[in-house]
Amino acid sequence: MRQLPHVTWLRSFEAAARHSSFSSAADELNLTPAAVSQQIRLLEHHLGVQLFKRLAKGVELTDIGQAYALPIRKSFLEMQSATDGLFSTKRKSPIRIRASISFAALILAPRLNAFRRQHPEVEIELSTTVWSDRMSDATIDLDIRFGTGDWPEHNIHLLQIEPSTIICHPDYAAQFADKPPAQAIRDASIVQIVGSETDWDLATAQYDPNQPRPKHWMKADSSLVALQIIGSGHGCTIVTRSFAKHELADGRLVAPLPLQLPAIKNFFLVERDDLGQRDDVRAFIDWICAETL
């Protein structure tokens, strides 16, 4: 493999090729025309080819010189772009947010553009998880968790969401319209969300305190997956109305019973204890806590 030419030779060559002039290249590079000419001669000697035709007035690229100038110019432009992007201004650290996959996909992601319009200077990195109860990853600044809020971190903010209810496809809603609510729940094809089994205990107790928890038809590890399952037309699940807000608004899903379940668990925004005072983080916390989720 041929050894790469010295970068100063390439710089002089690129400038001279662009200007078709050693003098103009020298002016740009703060060199003398003689110095530019010497560097190009060294480059030509190194490569074993003539890159310029020396004319009475100025210079002109040879065919091989023209072919070489294009990738060299592109390389310098890419190096300039990388340098400007990484070092021209001091880059702020992004806010690194982790959220449950359902909360991230169904509530947070659709609203991030609104936050961006208010704070265009703030960069956000969003990652997801199914279950989270600790800040074991030092690369996370804010954690959105589902639970009772009894975690060891010092700064924990309650996020207000709508009550949970039974959700199903409009075609499946007849299952509830044709029967008393207690029987309809007992006979329903239930998509059980892992970790929220007690929601069905609360739902059945509102209509028949003596009725046992109905058997599930299918299980899902997240509300997001459960909603995708019932969206095909069969079955029902219990989720917060906040998760199905858009589908309920346009009729793709319905809530067949006037049921509102008391919240045993909630979503919380948890700050990493050593996060410190950051204006961008405070702006995000104030924004999401003020949002109607």
Cβ atoms within 10 Å, residue 15: 22
- What's the Cα-to-Cα distance from 220 to each of 45, 102, 191, 194, 234, rounded to whole Å? 70, 12, 7, 6, 14
Q: Is 193 helix (H, G, I), strand (E, B) or coil?
A: strand
Q: What local confidence, expressed as pLDDT, does residue 12 receive?
A: 94
- 44 is written with which tokens? 């030509």
**For 150-193, where are the alpha helices, taking DSSP H only?**
174-177, 181-187
Q: Is 234 helix (H, G, I), strand (E, B) or coil?
A: coil
| pTM of the entire predicted model | 0.66
Q: Is 28 helix (H, G, I), strand (E, B) or coil?
A: helix
DSSP 8-state assignment for residue 106: I
- 188 is written with which tokens? 């329903």
In the chain, residues under CATH classification 3.40.190.10 are 95-161+266-290, 164-250
- 81 is written with which tokens? 């772009």
Q: What local confidence, expressed as pLDDT, does residue 89 receive?
A: 58
Q: What local confidence, expressed as pLDDT, does residue 133 receive?
A: 65
Q: What local confidence, expressed as pLDDT, does residue 132 receive?
A: 67
- 83 is written with which tokens? 């340098």
Continuous segment of H or E residues that includes residue 95: strand 95-100
**For 172-222, where are the alpha helices, taking DSSP H only?**
174-177, 181-187, 198-207
CATH number of 164-250: 3.40.190.10
Question: CA 183 to CA 256: how far, in whole Å?
Answer: 13
* CATH 3.90.190.10 applies to domain 7-87: no
Relative orientation angle of helices 7-19 and 22-29, to the nearest 10 degrees:
120
Q: Is 291 helix (H, G, I), strand (E, B) or coil?
A: coil
Q: What local confidence, expressed as pLDDT, does residue 90 receive?
A: 55
Question: CA 36 to CA 52: how far, in whole Å?
Answer: 12
pLDDT tens per residue, the chain (293 residues)? 678 899 999 999 999 999 999 999 999 999 999 999 999 999 999 999 999 999 888 899 999 999 999 999 999 999 988 887 777 655 567 999 999 999 999 999 999 999 999 999 899 999 998 776 666 666 889 999 988 889 999 999 999 899 999 999 999 998 888 889 999 999 999 999 998 888 999 999 998 888 888 889 999 999 999 999 999 999 999 999 999 999 999 999 999 999 999 888 899 999 998 888 889 999 999 999 988 67
Superfamily for domain range 95-161+266-290 = Periplasmic binding protein-like II (3.40.190.10)
